[in-house]
Structures are given as structure tokens and as C-alpha cells.
Structure 1
């Protein structure tokens, strides 16, 4: 069985190498996505408000954006203004046109004046430096080929999750004869096992490059194993939800989200509540939920319209969220009459959703501040290093096997020649 796991780890690791190296290298930078964007584009990402000037109403600002960009819709209305930063709006074309038909789909707006600061087609590297970080993001989760790449990356994340378990098992020392029959045998065997396993956590000093590489690959994987598993399984959550959700639902209690609410066919041509009415309704429902569940609303985040389901989703950051950087406390209500459909409480109602919230927040470094960003960035380097050392170890073993076979062949030819 152990040999089968060795073969799995070796060849699945080789299969994943390209994906993990790309994810590792890009992840090193994406941990500081906002900071790097501000550094590259300070004229867009940094705003100095005039003293005494107030930000515009978010609904009025959204309407202004739509008037400037006809033949588009705005299904996500940002509500939260971060001091010194622009508001971002993601436009979609009026169906049946597709996003590909838009010249640009991300608009940066000065929230004080309503002026357009910049626009870009998110992730399109042909537009130059303005899309460097979004392009890195596309590489990170889909090799920049979007739908098919995202599915492929999800499959790799699933294999990586399983390989984390296999890799951990392979660090365990081989079994020895049981000492259960002797007094104190079980305890003695456990102590001996831990002593032998301790070697897997260490790097031998003064060894050759191959041995050091082997130790770094094995020990390095153990040192950060928990975070590797977090990255792998959260990668499944991001890219392969059709696998992630059923598994988590079986293991943990889960709440209903927008994804579980049914689509309407045919969907209404337009919502019964306009954006201003929907925002007012969302605020009322959220305040009621806050009073009932006794949580604190910190700031509004977004109003989202789902046209295929005729649903509005209103989200805030609350004391239920895992950090101040995550705003996933939500109410969902009917876009026609405003009737409440569901609540989503990220850190209280269901353990499965709490686990997911933490997995995604850790993956994206949205908890723990700068220290977590640095750690996630270093994890990108670690994932790259583990992948490359794995390839090197495979190549050395393959080279050694070829050399051994060549030696055997030469010996056979020599024996035949001598016999002749």
C-alpha cells in the first residue's frame, strides 16, 4: 500500500507542477494585490478629498455610471467607500450580448465628484500595465483561459487536497514489530514511533544537494502542512463548487445561500423594486436581523441583483464576519415584492459556512492584517519550492534508474561476449 501511495505522490505531483508553480508565483504577489495596484497606479487608486467634501450617494453614483455607459447593466452596486480609494464598478452588457463585446467593464470613479478616473477590461493584458495584477489573478486561478482553466484548476486543487493527505502519510516511519505484548509496550512503541517520525521534520546538515533537497521537500511540506491543506481545499471551493458543496454539506451543517435559491424561467425582464427601493428594503431587513440575532453592523458592503433568480442580496460587514476585511453577512429578498427569502450569518448559524468563511479568508489573506499577507506571500514561495524540489527528486531517481539499467545491460553484453 505504501508503494502505491509513493507512485501516486510522485506522478500526481508531476501532473500538478505547472499549475502549482503558476499559483505559487502569482500568489506571492496577489497577497498584496491592493497595495501593488496602488503602487503601480497611484493616480487612479489614491484620492485626496477636498476638506469638507462629502461622498456622493452610492445609488446616485451608480445611476450616473449607467448613464455614461449606455447598453450596460450594473448588477452589483458597491456601497462602502474606503478612505482615499476610488469606487469600482463592474459593468455587464445588456443580454444577449456578452462581456467580450464590452470595450471596458471595470470603471474607477471618484466618489466625491463622480469623475471617471480610469477604465479597463479586467484581466486583459493587451491593455498594458493597468491590467498586470488582474492578469496575474486570472493566471492564478485559471491559467488565464477562464472557464476551462478554472475547471482544470479545480480538478488540480482536488488532487492537491488528496495529495496533501498522501504526502503526510508518506512522512510517517514504516511500521515495526509491535511491542503490545510486553509491559509498557504500547507506550514504548508510540515513543519510538514519534522519535523516528521526528527525523521527517529535520533537514540533515552537511549532506549532498540531493539529500538536502529531499529533506526540504519532506520537512518543508510538514512545517506548513495545515496551510497547504487550506490552500488546496479552498481552491476546490473557489473553482469546483459542485464538488466542494456536497462534501461540506455532508460533513457540516450549512445555510442556504444565493446559489441554492432556485432560478426563475422565464425570469422577469426587470425587478419590481428599483435600486433605491431595494437598498431601503435591505437595510430594514438587516436591521431586523441584527436586533434578533444581536450582532453589530459595521458598514454596508454591496447590493447585488441576480436577474436569473429575481433576487436582491444586501451584504454588510458585521460582528459575525471573520474580519473587518470580509463582508458576508447577508439578507436575500424577492426583487419583485421585497419579501424575505433567506439570511446568511457567516459565523454563527452553521459550522460548515463558518469553516468555509475561514478557509477563503485565509486563502486570500483577508484576516490577520499585514502579518497574514506576508505569510501567504511566503507560502507562495513555499508551494513553488516544494513543486520544483519534487520534480528534481523525480528526475534524479529516474536518471539513477536509467544508469542502473544501462550498467546491467553492459554487464550482460560483456558476459555474452566473454562466453562467445
Structure 2
């Protein structure tokens, strides 16, 4: 009596291979762009200053202008300009960074277009050293760093479309990272001995080298890659994805920016100087003795913000928020303070930029940008070489099949007639 055929054992691996291929091919181009631009942006301020030294070189000596006087210097002769952000430098020779929007159009409730929206200004004389439209194309010395910043963040697409697209890519990348990790796990024992080979680059053929580089780099740097993927999701889909998910595990403290923006937008009615004075008073009451470093007004939320601490260190920068209509204190955002969910969200930008570890972290991010682009390229190369192999094998099989079909007829023609 014949033995029944053994039942086929279900395996998840084919599904994982398919998912890794689809997710990898779908995100490869976007990740290559994001990786290479992110590598440059790890030092965007230093590179921008190197490319545009005259825009950052100030010569006037004396007491810096007040925020309102600095805003008037930028708005002078431009009735549609509305300054909303100013850095407040205190070191000699340092330029102030100023940002503006167009005035609010009563018919649409939105800012009117303006030819330039970011400025570098001498904080003592008020001289505008450089003016540019943030993110405008493309590769002039004054445009390239803002252009690369927007290309990295939203592919320079208008509105929220690019932000949502790159957020979706980051979400797929996050999932694909775990799928790729699962595919490296060995299918037999001893587990560690067999898995060890996945961490090595054995080389040989072009295919072997590409697959080894792709797999080994992904394994050795898995934790960093997942952290970058997660922080990428947080940068682009904070309200849509990250806050709802984090809120399931930890309560999030509401901020002045919780909820949707105002409609229509609200023009500034209080002076920057008045709010700065309120910010300094609140800071002194908390025992902060350093001067304020930044001030802004958000017409989208009707909120002022005043920052204290190191401008380049997000782990030291502390924000105080004030009501845009009354100037009353509303809340504070302090690094490391709040619920576990608050702190988790606070950490995402410092992790993504590498600034959580200072200069070392930024160097790591610059290197990781190249690695991410390399993973995307080697992944596509492996797929292409496998595809060529499959196509070649199918072609040979069809040729062989055609040959087998012709062989009997050829023999029949060769046989003598009876």
C-alpha cells in the first residue's frame, strides 16, 4: 500500500521575500534621494556659511537692534512682508536669521506670495545681507542648501503632498526594515553559527558582492536604520500617525499647536518687543539667566514663542509660549520634561539630525545618509540581476521545449517509407 505524500509545511519566507522586493523597489529612489541629501544636510548651516560668506559676515559694531526694529528693517519698502521669525544673535559678527510670510489676503485667508521669505541681516545696522525664497530651485550658492532641505523633506512638492508622500515612504521603509531583518534569520541549527555568515561580506561575483553588502550593512546598522526610519515618520506624519500611536501607550501633553491651524490665519497684533519682555520675565522667574535666542509668531496658531539655550542644541533649547492676542503665558516646552510619550516625540528630531550626540552624531548621520543610498542601490542591483537570471532561464527552457517538440518530427522525416 502506497504511503500518502507528506503534507507541505507552510513557510512564511516566500511572502517575506515578496514583501521585501515590493517595498524595496517602491521606496528605493526616494530613499536614495533622502539619504544623499540628508548626508549633506547634517552640516547644512556650516556648508551654507561656507558657500555664502558675505551673507554671514557682519561689520557693524554696537548694540543689536530690538526684534521689532530688526523686523522693520526687513519689511521696509515691502508692504506685503510680515516678519514672523527672528534669531537674536549675541556674538559679534554673527548675522541674524529672519523669516517672513506675505500679508494675509482677506479674500482667501492665506498669505499672499512674496519674492523672498528668508533673510540674513546685520543685527546692529539692520542691513539685509542676503534674501532668498526658501526651497527655490536649484544650485546657485544661495539657493542650494534650502533647496536640498526641501528636497529631503518633501521632494520640493507644493503644499502637504510631498510631506505626506515622504512620510508614507518612511513608513514603508520602517516596515521593510523588519522584513529584511527577518529574512536574514537562518532556517536551521545551530542558529548563531548559521546566522554569523549573514554579517560577513564574502564577495566573489558582482551578484554575491551586492547581496552581501546589502544584507551585512543592514544587519550591522539595523538599530540606527530603524531609529532613522521611525524619526522620519515622526518628522512627516507626526499628527497623522505618531501622536495617535504613541498616545495609546502614554498620555501626551497638549501644546499650543495641538489640533488644526486657524482659519483664517491671524495677523500679528502685539509687538515682538512686548512678547520678548514677557519671555524674559518668565525666564528669570524660572532661574534662567541667559538672553533669549529666538522669537517667532505663528499666524497659523496665534501663538508667540521665545527660545532660550543653545540654538544648535535641541537638547538644551527651551521654549516659552504666549497667547498671540493677549501676550499671556500659555505653556513651556522643556527637553526631557513631560510624560514618556512627550519625551519620545521630543527626541525624534535630535535623533534624526544626529544632534542628540553633538558633532559625533552629525558625522554618523552624514555617513548613514550614504549608507541608506547604498542599501537602496544594492537592493535594486540584486533584484535586477536576479530578474535577468530568471528571464535567461525561462528563455533557455522555452528553447529546449521547442527543440524537444521538433525532434520527433525530424526523426519521422528521416525514416524511409515502408
TM-score bracket for the superposition, by shorter chain length: 0.7 to 0.9
Q: Distance in 1 between matches of 2:136 and 2:71?
A: 24
Match of 1:194 in 2: 192
Q: TM-score, normalised by structure 1?
A: 0.85
* Secondary structure of 2:309 counterpart: strand
Moved more, 54-63 or 29-38: 54-63
Distance 1:114 1:200, change over 3 A: same
1:405 corresponds to which residue?
394
Question: What does 1:90-129 correspond to in 2, within 5 Å?
Answer: 90-96=99-105, 101-125=113-137, 128-129=140-141
Question: Shift in Å at residue 156 of structure 1?
Answer: 0.2
Q: Is the 8 A contact 2:119 2:128 kept in 1?
A: yes
Partner of 2:70: 61
Evaluate the alpha carbon distance shift between residue 138 and residue 268 of structure 1 in structure 2; reply closer, same or farther with a 3 A threshold. Answer: closer
Distance 1:173 1:325 in 2: 41
1:20, distance to aligned residue in structure 2 (A) = 0.7
Give the aligned partner of residue 279 of structure 1: 276
- Structure 2 segments unaligned to the other structure (5+ residues): 1-11, 410-418
**Larger Rg, first or second structure (1 or 2):** 2
The match for 1:167 is: 180
Answering whether residue 294 of structure 2 is matched by residue 302 of structure 1, we say yes
Q: Aligned to 2:356, what secondary structure does the other structure show?
A: coil
Contact conserved, 1:317 with 1:326, CA < 8 A, in 2?
no
| Counterpart position of 1:133 | 145
Is the contact made by 2:103 and 2:111 (CA closer than 8 Å) also made in structure 1? no
Is 1:158 the counterpart of 2:147 in the alignment? no
Partner of 1:250: 248
Superposed CA RMSD: 2.5
Question: C-alpha deviations, 1:336-394, integer Å up to 9, x for none?
Answer: 33333322222122222322333211222323333322221111110111000000100
Q: Structure 1 residues 368, 48: CA separation in 2 closer, same or farther (over 3 Å shift)?
A: farther
Question: Aligned in 2, Cα 1:261/1:387: closer, same or farther, shift over 3 Å?
Answer: closer
- Is the 1:31–1:373 contact (alpha carbons within 8 Å) kept by the matching residues of 2? yes
Q: Find the aligned partners of 2:233 and 2:362 in 1 and give their Cα distance.
A: 21
Trace 1:41-60 onto structure 2 (pairs within 5 A): 41-48=52-59, 50=61, 53-60=62-69
Which residue is 1:189 aligned to?
none
Q: How many residues align?
A: 393
Long gaps (5+) in structure 1: 177-191
Q: Partners of 1:339 and 1:113 in 2: how far apart?
A: 31
**TM score, norm. by length of structure 2:** 0.86
> CA–CA distance in 2 between the matches of 1:58 and 1:253?
36
